[in-house]
Amino acid sequence: MVLQYVMMAAKEELYTKVTPRRQRQNRSGTVKHGSSLDVLLSMGFPKTRALKALVSTGGKNVQAACDWLFSHVDDPFLDDPLPREYVLYLRPSGPLLHQLSTFWQQSRVTCGKNKAHNIFPHITLCQFFMCADGKVEALSEALQATVGSWRGRFPNPLPLELYTSSNFIGLFVEEQVAEVLKDFAADFATEAATKADVHVEPHKKQLHVTLAYHFQTNHLAALEKLAKGVDVSLGCDWLAVLFSRDIRFANHETLRVMYPYVPQNEDELELAPGDFIFMTPVEQGSASEGWVFGTSLGTGLPGLLPENYVRRADECDTWVFHGNPASPSNTGGAVGGLLFDGQLDGSFLDDPGDPSSLTVLCPPVQMLRPTTQSCLPKRSLFVCRHGERMDVVFGKHWITQCFDAKGRYVRSNLNMPSSLPTRSGGFRDYDKDCPITVFGSTQARLVGEALLESQAVIDFVYCSPSLRCVQTAHNILRGLQQEGKTKIRIEPGLFEWTKWVSGTSLPAWIPPTDMAAASLSVDTTYRPHIPISKLGVSESYDAYISRSFQVTREILTECKNLGNTVLIVAHASSLEACTRQMQGLSPQNAKDFVQVVRKIPYLGFCAAEEMGETGVWQLVDPPILPLTHGPNHSFNWRETLQQD
Which residues have CB under 8 Å from 626's CB, separation 6+? 259, 604, 605
Please answer whether residues 497 and 470 qualify as being in contact, where contact means their C-beta atoms are separated by less than 8 angstroms: no
| First and final C-alpha spacing in the chain | 48
Omega of the bond leading into 157 within 30 degrees of 0 (cis): yes
Backbone angles phi, psi at 271, to 5 degrees: -115, 135
Let me know if 251 is exposed, middle or buried by CB neighbors in 10 A (0-12, 13-18, 19+). Answer: exposed
Find the helix or strand (DSSP H, E) in which 488 lies.
strand 488-490
Find the helix or strand (DSSP H, E) in which 468 lies.
helix 467-480
Name the active-site residue from 245, 252, 529, 571: 571
Name the active-site residue from 122, 203, 245, 385: 385
Q: Is 571 a catalytic residue?
A: yes
Q: How far apart are CA 589 and CA 596, in angstroms?
A: 11
Please answer whether residues 344 and 316 qualify as being in contact, where contact means their C-beta atoms are separated by less than 8 angstroms: yes
Residue type, 436: I
Q: Provide the Cα torsion 555, 558, 561, 566; round to 10°.
A: -20
Three-state DSSP at 12 gives helix
267: left (phi over 0), alpha (psi -120 to 50) or beta: alpha
Find the helix or strand (DSSP H, E) in which 87 lies.
strand 84-92
Q: How far apart are CA 639 and CA 644, in angstroms?
A: 10
Distance of CA 549 to the CA centre of its chain: 19
Please answer whether residues 129 and 199 qualify as being in contact, where contact means their C-beta atoms are separated by less than 8 angstroms: yes
How many beta carbons lie within 10 A of that of residue 222, not counting itself? 14
Q: How far apart are CA 141 and CA 124, in angstroms?
A: 20
Residues 42, 45, 49, 55, CA torsion sign: negative
How many beta carbons lie within 10 A of that of residue 459, not counting itself? 15
**Helix axes of 47-56 and 62-71: crossing angle, nearest 10 degrees:** 110
Q: How far apart are CA 118 and CA 96, in angstroms?
A: 19
Name the active-site residue from 386, 489, 529, 580: 386
DSSP state at residue 31? B
Q: What is the DSSP string of 586-598?
A: PPPPHHHHHHHHH
CA–CA distance from 104 to each of 116, 229, 329 (Å)?
A: 9, 12, 33
353: left (phi over 0), alpha (psi -120 to 50) or beta: left
How many beta carbons lie within 10 A of that of residue 481, not counting itself? 11
| Residues marked as catalytic | 385-386, 571
